[in-house]
Structure 1
Amino acid sequence: MSNSEVLLEALRTVNDPELRRPITELDMVQSAQLDGQKARVTILLTIAGCPMRSTIEAEVTAALLGVAEVEDVDVTLGVMDPQQRAALRERLASRRTPFSDPQSLTRVIAVASGKGGVGKSSITANLAAHLASQGLKVGLIDADVHGFSIPSLMGITQNPTRMDDMILPPVAHGVKVISIGMFLDSNQPVIWRGPMLHRALEQFLSDVYFGDLDYLFLDLPPGTGDMAISVSQLLPNSELLVITTPQSTATEVAERAGTIALQTDQKVLGVVENMSFLQLPDGTRMEVFGSGGGENLSESLTRQLGYEVNLLSQIPLEESVRVGSDQGTPVVLGAAQSPAALALQELAEKLVQRPRGLAGRSLPMSF
């Protein structure tokens, strides 16, 4: 193996932070030579203002210093020309997972609720973060255009990277995330009607490069409005996870969010009861928002939908969830042994354990 091949082999371990693929596979390595004990490499960035240039430079340096013959590294950062960028974009476009394709093996889970304030967004962020921590490829779309909160919950401050007409989503805690909030200059309100909401979701699905995903989560706005309908139209294979609190009024409106499946032909995965109880220092439980709401909702949806809709989890009310949300670190990562985090982890594992049906799907095979 030549010196250049040894360096390229080391560089295969370096992934582009946004595309999450090896820089060698993306043709970002223009040259790699060993001059004595100094490795000299030229890396081509996708765009001139790449926000992850320092990360790429640091990881390239670290990878090359791991080569026995290398004691020093000289990294030159260049930029792809329009032809190179077009070739890369075409290669990536051919790898996009068509989430609406019936043959897609990506599980699409839309997290819904009847009303706001039940913890739907924080549950979505935690489920995505936990599955990513287990090595799964996870994407997250903040479909709550009017009340977006996912960027803050995931600790994202950077904007998406634009590569011509392709958008590269920021990655937080191993999750590829996109939200309308990333395209706004400030915390301004989004005053859009139905057609614009539909178009926004359509662009998130077509223009954003998620790559191959195991799971795609959508944080839906509360209720059964335009976005819920658009999700069912654009992602007919999506499944619903319904969030409620024990309070009877929350359960009543959550029932509407679940029974929308009768009109959209989506499947309801189950019910999650959030803020079920507050654990007191003496070990007793205070049921701040009452009790039984999750079970009642589960029984009602089972009766109306004609199949078993289980109560999958009862998540306790805990300060650590609020602290993690404020800090941009999901509780499943920041306080992984807390009761709420353990309940969320168990919920995520239940979603993973549900088999993905392959009946009627053609599987790629080569001979």
Structure 2
Amino acid sequence: MEEVPQDCPGTGSAQAGKGASCQGCPNQRLCASGAGAAPDPAIEEIKEKMRTVKHKILVLSGKGGVGKSTFSAHLAHGLAEDESKQVALLDIDICGPSIPKMMGLEGEQYVEENLGVMSVGFLLGSPDDAVIWRGPKKNGMIKQFLRDVDWGEIDYLIVDTPPGTSDEHLSIVQYLSAAHIDGAVIITTPQEVSLQDVRKEINFCHKVKLPIIGVVENMSGFICPKCKNESQIFPPTTGGAEVMCQDLKIPLLGKVPLDPQIGKSCDNGQSFLTEVPDSPATLAYRNIIQRIQDFCGLHSSKEEKLVISS
């Protein structure tokens, strides 16, 4: 089903498909028939498939171009540096799958022994092919990724999402709802135009009851490759992510300065963390990754206590 109108009576209501707000909705006929109220059997199938995946992390951003896929790739590389951990990166940006390029996997389907990647980009005949799909077909692809891919024993599943709060986001939360999502990492840049959209993303997380691990402020200053001095190329007008997080009582996981080598590493499909280990951006990434690991570990301990006590 496609995204419902704001005043939707709900599929379980007697007015489903019959109310005034249902007029013009693409799902009107389905809801009126009663079929929309039936639970999707794929949710239980995905729950069973995800039993072998310990931690599930969504990477979100309200706005495009803030470095969300770049962060997802670096998070996967950073976690996989521990060879005892199995890491998977799932790209559900159906129309703009950039993860295969960033991971150096165009035409391939693996990175190394403990880091696997799945993306619709692997299913295209050419990297230049456009994916021109409506919502239901996107949702079906995401369902297939979660249900039909043999994920195996995974410590961390990182899900890279497209910008916004639409079909792909609703689908991934719905399908993983029974399998437990550790939380979301929200990516922004310092400008107010980006923070506005991040607030919408935070509101989305609250509405769908998705825990927020924290916010990452990308492009927080520019590191000159020659003199190594830092300058503000996107000066925040209202205090940036730090002030926003304080107001909304959400953790700020860290600020990543812009290093020109980051883009070059992604273009070449390499890990910036190992290519430029002494960069201030690398240090920022590693601190953020550690905080995410600590969050997941803390929540695992709480779940174990709940299981034992029950």
| TM-score when normalising by structure 1 | 0.64
Q: Map Cα deviations across residues 272-329 of structure 1 (whole Å, 9 max, x no partner).
A: 0000001345554311111332113313432xxxxxx111110001011011101101
CA distance in 2, matches of 1:334, 1:98: 38
Q: Which runs of 5+ in 1 are unaligned?
A: 1-95, 161-169, 303-308
State the shift of 1:212 in Å: 1.0
**Partners in 2 of 1:296 and 1:100 — Cα distance?**
37
* Match among 90, 112, 123 for residue 183 of structure 1: 123
Cross-structure match for 1:248: 192
Give the deviation of 1:271 after TM superposition.
Answer: 0.4
CA distance in 2, matches of 1:227, 1:220: 7
Specify the alignment match of 2:135 in structure 1. Answer: 194
> 1:122 Cα deviation (Å)?
0.6
Aligned to 2:254: 313
Equivalent-residue separation in structure 1 for 2:59 and 2:234 (angstroms): 21
Alpha-carbon contact 1:259-1:301 (below 8 Å) kept: no
Q: Does 1:296 align with 2:243?
A: yes
Return closer, same or farther for 1:352/1:144 CA change in 2, 3 Å cut-off: same
Contact kept? 1:99, 1:235, Cα under 8 Å: no
Counterparts of 1:1-367 in structure 2 under 5 Å? 98=48, 106-135=54-83, 136-160=85-109, 170-172=110-112, 174-186=114-126, 187-236=128-177, 237-238=180-181, 239-280=183-224, 281-282=226-227, 284-291=229-236, 292-302=239-249, 309-354=250-295, 355=298, 356=300, 357-358=302-303, 359-361=305-307
Aligned-pair distance for 1:144? 0.6
Q: Secondary structure in 1 aligned to 2:258?
A: coil
Write the deviation string for residues 135-174 of structure 1: whole angstroms up to 9, x where unpaired.
21111100111111000000003344xxxxxxxxx23473
Q: SS of the counterpart of 1:277?
A: strand
Distance 1:343 1:99 in 2: 34
Residue 224 to residue 343, structure 1, CA distance change in 2 (3 Å)? same
Between the aligned partners of 1:114 and 1:240, the Cα distance in structure 2 is 12
Structure with larger RCO (C-alpha < 8 A, sep 6+): 2
What is the DSSP-based 3-state SS (H/G/I as helix, E as strand, rest coil) of the residue aligned with 1:316? strand
Contact 1:255 1:301 in 2 (8 A): no
- Secondary structure of 2:104's counterpart equals coil
Mapped to 1, the partners of 2:53 and 2:148 lie a distance apart of 20
- The higher radius of gyration belongs to 1
Count, aligned residues: 251
Contact 2:220 2:257 in 1 (8 A): yes
Distance in 1, matches of 2:159 and 2:69, equals: 9
Per-residue CA deviations over 1:251-274 (Å, capped at 9, x if unaligned) read: 111111121112111100000000
Structure 2 unaligned regions, length at least 5: 1-45
Change (3 A) 1:266 1:332: same
Alignment TM-score, normalising by the size of structure 2: 0.76
The answer on whether the counterparts of 1:154 and 1:173 sit within 8 Å (CA) in structure 2 is: no
Whichever residue aligns with residue 219 of structure 1, its letter is D
CA-based RMSD of the aligned residues comes to 2.1
Q: Distance in 2 between matches of 1:196 and 1:230?
A: 11
